[in-house]
Amino acid sequence: MKKILTLTFLAISFSGAVHADTLLQTAQQDGSFKTFLKAVKTAGLESTLNGSGPITVFAPDDAAFAKLPKAKLNALMGNSAELKKVLSYHIYPAKITQADVSAGKVKSLEGADLQLSVTDGVKVNNVAVVGNEINADNGVIHTMSAVLTPKN
């Protein structure tokens, strides 16, 4: 009986070590990024969030998307090219943890700069990062209190 329990434990441990949670899977498990995940799928960015990374995602949660006027959100969700541009603006192609954040500019995956600040908490383009970072095997998610919009 001991051998069976030991083998079962080892099998569970080994299968856990093999399975890695990507940023996409981690956001799905969190439950507060439903609109963001729908947008990621519409924009065709699932492979980016499932990639090897490391990447940092400044992800607006459902409350952040709810702040957008309904017509603007619907127009954005209906235009996959524009949606991809907006979502790519929320992605930095390296890992920045809350402990590593320093004031300055970083270039988003979209190509435009994101202005990071650490005065009165971590902010991106003067938008507050809320809650704790969410770590995944291929990067980190920082929850944003609003949707970031790149300048044309």
- Does residue 97 fall inside a structural domain? yes
- Does residue 33 fall inside a structural domain? yes
- Does residue 151 fall inside a structural domain? no
Sign for the pseudo-dihedral over CA of 77, 81, 85, 88: positive
- Does residue 79 fall inside a structural domain? yes
Res 53: pLDDT: 87
Res 20: pLDDT: 61
- Does residue 81 fall inside a structural domain? yes
Q: How many domains does the chain have?
A: 1
CATH number, domain containing residue 35: 2.30.180.10
Task: List average pLDDT for each run of 10 residues in the chain, which is 152 residues long.
Answer: 42 43 93 96 94 94 96 95 96 93 94 93 94 94 95 74
- Does residue 135 fall inside a structural domain? yes
Range of the domain at 84: 21-144
- Does residue 69 fall inside a structural domain? yes
String of b and e for 33-60 (b: at least 16 CB within 10 Å)?
bebbbebbebbebeebbebebbbbbbbb
Report whether 103 contacts 60 (CB < 8 A).
no
**Whole-angstrom distance, CA of residue 142 vs CA of residue 140:** 7
Is 17 exposed, middle or buried (CB count within 10 Å of its CB: 0-12, 13-18, 19+)? exposed
pTM score:
0.84
Enumerate residues 6+ apart whose C-beta is below 8 A from 134. Answer: 26, 27, 30, 140, 141, 142, 143
